[in-house]
Amino acid sequence: MKNRETLLDREKSTNSLLTILIVLASISGFITYFVEGHGEWQQWAWLLHAVVAVALTVQFVPYLFVHLQRTLAFRRWSLVSSGSVTVGAIFVLVATGSVLVYVGQTEQQSWLLQYHVYGAFAFVSLILLHIVLHATTLTKKRRQVLPRTYASVESGLGKQIVVVILITVCVVALLGFSTKALRTPYSTDPIVADYEKPYGEHPFRPSQTETWHNQFVDYRQIGNSNDCSGCHSEITKEWRSSIHRHAASDKTYVTNVSLLAKNRGVAATRYCEGCHSPVALLSGQLSEGGDHGGIEGTLAFDEGVGCMGCHGIKRATHLNGVASYEFEAAQDYLFSGTDNDGLTSLRNFLIRLRPDQHKNDLARPVLSSPKLCATCHAQFMDKDMNNWGWVKMQDEYAAWLDSPYSQQHDKTFSNQDLVRCQDCHMPLVDGSDPSANEQGQYRSHRFLGANTVVPLITGDKEQLKLTKEFLQKNKMRINIEEPRRKDATQTLMSLDESIRTDTQTPYYVYLGEQVEIKVIVSNIGVGHNFPGGTLDINEAWVAITVMDASSQVVYQSGQIQEDNTVDPDALFYRSLPIDKAGNHVWKHDLFNRVGEAYKNFVAAGQSDILSYKFQVPEWAKGPLTITATLKYRKLNERYARWALQELYQPIPIIDVAKNSLALPVKIRSEVEKLK
């Protein structure tokens, strides 16, 4: 009995604090879950709930242990039952709350918050029920003793709770007001004081970019990709290897944008920077006296197309490209933009604890639509830039729309499933990112494509390896058509009955004969034209080699020459843009471009038939081995040497597809020669 009274005293010593903590946790939890909004005071309420919940857990666990010790011998089964269920609710509440505090709300565990809320309601309801049952099941003698037993606990407790709640409300309100008042406001003015507008009143023209408030954007609202690494470390690592990350620092871009600035002024670089360096464009750097994204050491140079470069896009304003998007900054969490590691960690904690606003701002519907890609992977030039007129250039979005994969074309019968840009260039990969789905997969942010130059120059072996593998995923095929003969020789030899239905004629060639070989290049898996992108500086071609049995070359086309250029007589897939005088615009100086003298590609779901003719020499030993290879090099040699300058090194040549055919060789008999 004495031991039980000691345990009761230990319980009584913590009852007031526990009650206050339960009330505070309940109120702050109610605000956190039910009160909509993203104000400063609300975020402080979320923090309060987390802190109080941890304190309550720390206080409640030893209390529960003492309480169970004291009541294990009780025979009031209604109390035992309700108490046992309450303990179960407590464990659910503590377990789910601990994960929410230490891990946060992830996509993979989106159910966790709901279970935590259910556990909270169950706990409050059950503990009230437990108290009621305790009071109603007491004996008459115990009811008389109960008021005296708990007098010290109940005396003034209600007043204490009210006082604590009022103080807490005042502190939260004060913290919310102070945080808002002390925050450095975002600038909506351009960084360059005397900002030029040579292309009309719109501040971003000739770029097609818009902003949600029709003003400039503070660089802190867009140039903050490193902040994302605190929670999205895997994705940030992938992005740092991506072409998006190097969109402004790519040496070829630096050379070209510097050429444009030199010839047309810094303001003209807005045409490029909306896609290559949105930080420079939106913050108002692109005017005389400012730095374009190709200037080393600037934030725009380091950022390229950062996280907000895509996740800040609210909608596509049109589908003609040249940065045709509307940018809208995300709403801040507490301590956003700070350089203090501790406060940054606290901000990340808040995002993990309550990511709703974060997801609303950074996971907008346009991100899953190919229209997002159209904003920059489509391009046109108008009179403002080329002093000539409107000229259409690359347009991967229109090519995709015209493909079997968009389900918006009469060719859709050949592909029953919708395949978006994101499905190929951002495939699902395994990982532990908070955005990972129930299968533990998230969208890769390497943005693999056909650029082998950037990872080559930066020394990123992993990105280069993955890019090569991406190019060789059997999405392009090359086939050599068997040159079946119409003049096959006859024989009196009896035929096997099993081959009488074979209607194909044999294929072979004679020594000294001129042969025509047809090669078929098919685009069976690329969602747009092959090659895509900058068709004027990309280099794709077919290399064909015919060798006899002694490895002597009979015929070649498309081979690499001593100066590392491709045989000029090869069959290329490329474009040759021209200026007003009809000269080849080979430096990718698009502001001089008015049209094209030549353009060739293989559209999605289509094939191209190439024809090669050669003479079979009398010395050839059969069979002839014909090898046809579809080759790709990101930059042609002439442009690469000019644009890469001191960083030049030979660009990798990728065998995208390959095929061989053994062709029998015969000696024409004298009788056949007389025919």
The 3-class secondary structure across 332-359, one letter per residue, is CCCCCCCCCHHHHHHHHHHHHHCCHHHH
Q: Is residue 673's pLDDT more than 70? A: no
Q: Is residue 586's pLDDT more than 60? A: yes
304 in Cβ contact with 277 (< 8 Å) = yes
Contacts of 182 (CB under 8 A, 6+ apart): none
Q: Which residue has the higher pLDDT, 501 or 374?
A: 374
Contacts of 179 (CB under 8 A, 6+ apart): 40, 44, 334
Question: How far is the C-alpha of 78 from the C-alpha of 67, rounded, in Å?
Answer: 16
Structure confidence at residue 36 as a pLDDT band (50, 70, 90): confident
pLDDT one-digit tens code per residue, 382-398: 999 999 999 999 999 99
| pLDDT score for 25 | 87
pLDDT one-digit tens code per residue, 149-168: 454 445 567 787 888 888 88
Residue 310 CB neighbour total at 10 angstroms: 21
Q: Rounded to whole angstroms, what are the CA distances from 231 to 362, 570, 670?
A: 14, 50, 81
**Secondary structure element (H or E) that encloses residue 143, with its range:** helix 140-149
621 in Cβ contact with 549 (< 8 Å) = yes
Place of tokens 């293989």: 602
Q: Is residue 375's pLDDT more than 90? A: yes
| pLDDT score for 369 | 95
| pLDDT score for 154 | 52
> How many Cα atoms sit within 13 Å of 40 on the Cβ side?
16
Q: Is residue 260's pLDDT more than 70? A: yes
| Overall average pLDDT of the 345-355 stretch | 93
| pLDDT score for 591 | 92
**What are the chain's domains?**
2-182 (no CATH), 210-394 (no CATH), 474-487+501-674 (2.60.40.10)
Phi (first) and psi of residue 649, to 5 degrees = -150, 155
| Overall average pLDDT of the 600-607 stretch | 94
| pLDDT score for 144 | 52
663 in Cβ contact with 507 (< 8 Å) = yes
Q: Is residue 458's pLDDT more than 50? A: yes
In terms of phi and psi (left: phi > 0; alpha: psi -120 to 50; beta: otherwise), the region of 533 is: left
Q: Decide: helix, strand or coil at residue 630.
A: strand
pLDDT one-digit tens code per residue, 634-672: 999 999 999 999 999 999 999 999 999 999 999 887 555
The pLDDT mean for the chain works out to 89
| pLDDT score for 570 | 96
| Overall average pLDDT of the 301-327 stretch | 96
Question: How far is the C-alpha of 131 from the C-alpha of 136, rounded, in Å?
Answer: 9
Residue 113: both structure tokens together: 């918050």
Q: Rounded to whole angstroms, what are the CA distances from 147 to 8, 152, 156, 157?
A: 14, 9, 14, 14
Least reliable range by pLDDT among 436-450, 488-502, 658-672: 488-502
Phi (first) and psi of residue 209, to 5 degrees = -75, 145
Question: How far is the C-alpha of 446 from the C-alpha of 448, rounded, in Å?
Answer: 5
0.75 cut: is pTM over it? yes
| pLDDT score for 153 | 47
pLDDT one-digit tens code per residue, 191-241: 999 999 999 999 999 999 999 999 999 999 999 898 899 899 999 999 999
